[in-house]
Structure 1
Amino acid sequence: MKKILYIMSLSFLFFSCTQEMTLPSKDASELEIASSDGVTLLNKINPSAETTLIDREGEYDFVFTSNKPAASESYLTLASRTELTNLVTEYNRHLLTTEYAILPETNLEVNAVKIEAGKSTADVKLTIKNFDKLAFGFYLVPFKVNFEGKTAIHMVKVFKDGAYSALSPNSKKAMPTLASNCVLRTEPMKMIGYIETNDWDIRNLANFVLKGSKKPVFDYIVIFAANMNYDPIKKRRYLHFNDKLEPFVKDAVRYTKPLKDRGIKLIVDILPNHQGVGFYNFQSYNEALDFVKELKMWADKLGIDGFDIDEEYANYSVLPSLPTKGNQSVFYFMRAFKDIMPDKLLTLYDYGHSLSSFSEDEDTKKKVNDFIDLNWSDYNITSGPRAGISNHKYGNLSVEGNLRSYYFSSPTVYGPTLRSRAQSNVTNCYGNFMIFNIRGTEIKPNNSGVSTAAQSLSYITQVFYGEDAEFNGKYYVGQNGL
């Protein structure tokens, strides 16, 4: 398979116009909040926040604190524009990106701050303005102040996004009108989009919205992929993010915010990696539990909403000491997953496994349907859910958008096929439709502002929701530079 000028309101505030990864013990927060000699600059509403993330115009309150009172009447001074620009450059370097830009001077105002003799704290007000004139993207305000030779810094991130109306339990997409005989259908059709992160950026899928309602087209976005690797020294499997995913690991909020704001769930595909471990050779429930605890650590750290079982490329012969255990091994994993993360999604890609409607956990006698939240077929498969998954959790006729000039590059040619496949899922009372890896070259709007992928997706969204799709927001360049 898947083959924010700092404009000073008072003149006395000085402004100068002239590889293998494991869970890090420290991350970008080292650059986001810093103090020197006992001074801090914190968000007044949320003083424990490592950064302040802003996505609208308004006033924001901060508190400067020193562990020593001012010897005489003093003023906070802001670092020079040059120094602030250098901080943005260093921040980008630390996070392996060039995406953060310094907020333009016309979009920010900071009040002047006087600290009276004998005082050690002061309120600082930061105002974001002219937000409607900002281009889409992420901006950085390295909020750095100096006081009696001491320095405090707090990173403020400003995010300007495209237009959307978020999904929620009280705000859903429309139900399909086709095949109203599906009496058990209680939810709108769900759209699942995988992204090959070695090439493309997951956020682009979030910017597909329905033209009228502005609801997101995709309900779930799947990162393809993190790997199930094996540590021969510790003799345990672990989750591995390759170098292309390192920016996500270092600064997950930049990737997850556009999704979470829209109500989209983020799932990480777990793909074996030719190292002799996969979903079929967990030797016991406890071994599966150990791996799932690591998954939970990553989910909590990065804001992941679920994980996808993708049984490929295990190469079990590499580790004869861990023989395969049949379907019971998969049940060990599924049971451990729901025991540790009952609030997280567990999904299943129908490929490489031998689970069926007859399969059951030998300990609990539960079936696959008791553990799996969503399931979709391999490409072009028309048959129903072979693992006994309920129809409302299932989707067939999955589409590979990975190939050049395939499905999403020529809407008039391939659109009817996409529409037919969408109609098939509705007619058969299935609940979802999976698309793997739409190429960024088809997603990116052309000089006329038209996304051919959006045109193609419209053949699907018209069937599911009665609306066309559009690309609305910033296009994010992928790891391949396109």
Structure 2
Amino acid sequence: MKLFTSPLAFVAVAALSSTTSAKSGPISVAYVEVNDNSITNVGDYTLADGSNAFDIAIIFAANINYNGSSAVLYNNPNVQAVLDDADNQIRPLQAKGIKVLLSILGNHQGAGISNFATQAAAADFASQVSDALNQYGLDGVDLDDEYADYGTNGTPQPNDQSIGWLISALRTDLGDKLVTFYNYGPASDYLSSSSASIGSQLSYSWNANYDSYEAPNIPGLSKSQLSPAAIDIPTTPQSDAVSFAQETVADGYGVYMTYDLGNGDDSSYISAITQALYGQAATYTP
């Protein structure tokens, strides 16, 4: 099994960026609700030295559906439209050095990342994810344990081995692609008490409780791989976003996560964050 080798906090930005100037500081993550907003907007923010304001763009979100016997990867029409238009929506981001991930979460049908009943079932779903990432040329997957409604349709309840099985199968299938974890739901509880050999196969994890600052507790992950800040751009006050950015740097964490980057110019809010993270303002150029 090929394990992911974790980057150091301030080296990671340079590794993710192909811009002429590599900024120094934590990696910045932007989730985009593609039902309403364009993923391309992640690439429209740049710093004064030409670096990308964001290093990872996450397509939110594909689903885990249940077909009566097993978990099935499902893309709603809006997600599928982004993937089908990869040449115009994904490749330009990647050309700038921005990694593009697909977020995967439940769909109220009883299937999720925490209730695979066997290692084989987890491996089967991991293969579906791997096939999709390869088909559309994506850089990784983000795992989210929301909206599964475990027990619906006669599905099993969560168990403490499911998330480990899935992470290990994904790491085997994906090699050095990113596998990230939105620290929420039963999977977060199981990972917090799992062995470091499971957590170390993740690339990054972030706090999922918006407008708060609390690092995930996942054995095997270093501070360079964690975001204690959880920023919901439309609702988190700018003062909190800045304060959490300052704490992220001061405390030596390597990731800063934002959710729901919208269409249009939000450079005032983003600049306040990037000034705290990198000492540079962000400009918006669509």
Separation in 2, partners of 1:286, 1:372: 20
Secondary structure of the corresponding residue to residue 427 of structure 1: helix
Alignment partner of 1:228 out of 64, 72, 97? 64
Output one character per residue of 1:14-67: Cα deviation in whole Å (capped at 9) or x when no partner: xxxxxxxxxxxxxxxxxxxxxxxxxxxxxxxxxxxxxxxxxxxxxxxxxxxxxx
Counterpart amino acid of residue 454 in structure 1: S
In structure 2, the CA distance between the partners of 1:316 and 1:358, relative to structure 1 (3 Å rule), is: closer
In structure 2, the CA distance between the partners of 1:249 and 1:174, relative to structure 1 (3 Å rule), is: closer
Deviation (angstroms), 1:329: 0.6
In structure 2, the CA distance between the partners of 1:236 and 1:357, relative to structure 1 (3 Å rule), is: closer
More helix as a share of residues = 2
Pair 1:430 & 2:253 matched: yes
Output one character per residue of 1:71-101: Cα deviation in whole Å (capped at 9) or x when no partner: xxxxxxxxxxxxxxxxxxxxxxxxxxxxxxx
Alignment size in residue pairs: 269
Separation in 1, partners of 2:145, 2:270: 28
Counterpart amino acid of residue 348 in structure 1: F
In structure 2, the CA distance between the partners of 1:381 and 1:201, relative to structure 1 (3 Å rule), is: same
Identity %: 30
In structure 2, the CA distance between the partners of 1:221 and 1:170, relative to structure 1 (3 Å rule), is: closer
Secondary structure of the corresponding residue to residue 205 of structure 1: helix
In structure 2, the CA distance between the partners of 1:170 and 1:192, relative to structure 1 (3 Å rule), is: closer
Pair 1:355 & 2:190 matched: yes
Q: Which residue is 2:144 aligned to?
A: 310
Kindly indicate whether the alpha-carbon contact (under 8 Å) linking 2:213 and 2:229 is maintained by their aligned counterparts in 1: yes
Q: Which residue is 1:398 aligned to?
A: 230
Kindly indicate whether the alpha-carbon contact (under 8 Å) linking 1:167 and 1:215 is maintained by their aligned counterparts in 2: no
Correspondence 1:217-256 to 2 at 5 A: 217-232=53-68, 235-256=69-90
Task: Structure 2: give runs of 5+ residues left out of the alignment.
Answer: 1-14
Kindly indicate whether the alpha-carbon contact (under 8 Å) linking 2:144 and 2:182 is maintained by their aligned counterparts in 1: yes
Output one character per residue of 1:345-400: Cα deviation in whole Å (capped at 9) or x when no partner: 1101111131344313xxxxx53431110111021333332223311000112111
Q: Which has the higher contact order (CA 8 A, sep 6+)?
A: 2
Q: Which residue is 2:170 aligned to?
A: 337
Structure with bigger gyration radius: 1
Pair 1:261 & 2:84 matched: no
Alignment partner of 1:208 out of 40, 45, 57? 45
Please, what is the CA RMSD of the aligned residues?
A: 2.1
In structure 2, the CA distance between the partners of 1:328 and 1:167, relative to structure 1 (3 Å rule), is: closer
Pair 1:295 & 2:129 matched: yes
TM-score, reference length from structure 2: 0.87
Alignment partner of 2:202 out of 363, 372, 387? 372
In structure 2, the CA distance between the partners of 1:465 and 1:173, relative to structure 1 (3 Å rule), is: farther
Correspondence 1:52-451 to 2 at 5 A: 168=17, 173-175=22-24, 188-210=25-47, 212-232=48-68, 235-320=69-154, 322-352=155-185, 353-360=188-195, 366-378=196-208, 379-388=210-219, 389-402=221-234, 406-407=235-236, 414-440=237-263, 444=264, 451=265
Output one character per residue of 1:317-349: Cα deviation in whole Å (capped at 9) or x when no partner: 2133x4235221100100100111122111011
Kindly indicate whether the alpha-carbon contact (under 8 Å) linking 2:28 and 2:255 is maintained by their aligned counterparts in 1: yes
Kindly indicate whether the alpha-carbon contact (under 8 Å) linking 2:233 and 2:261 is maintained by their aligned counterparts in 1: yes
Deviation (angstroms), 1:417: 2.6
Secondary structure of the corresponding residue to residue 367 of structure 1: helix
In structure 2, the CA distance between the partners of 1:169 and 1:358, relative to structure 1 (3 Å rule), is: farther
Task: Structure 1: give runs of 5+ residues left out of the alignment.
Answer: 1-165, 176-187, 361-365, 408-413, 445-450, 474-482
Kindly indicate whether the alpha-carbon contact (under 8 Å) linking 1:346 and 1:374 is maintained by their aligned counterparts in 2: yes
Deviation (angstroms), 1:246: 2.9
Moved more, 332-341 or 252-261: 252-261
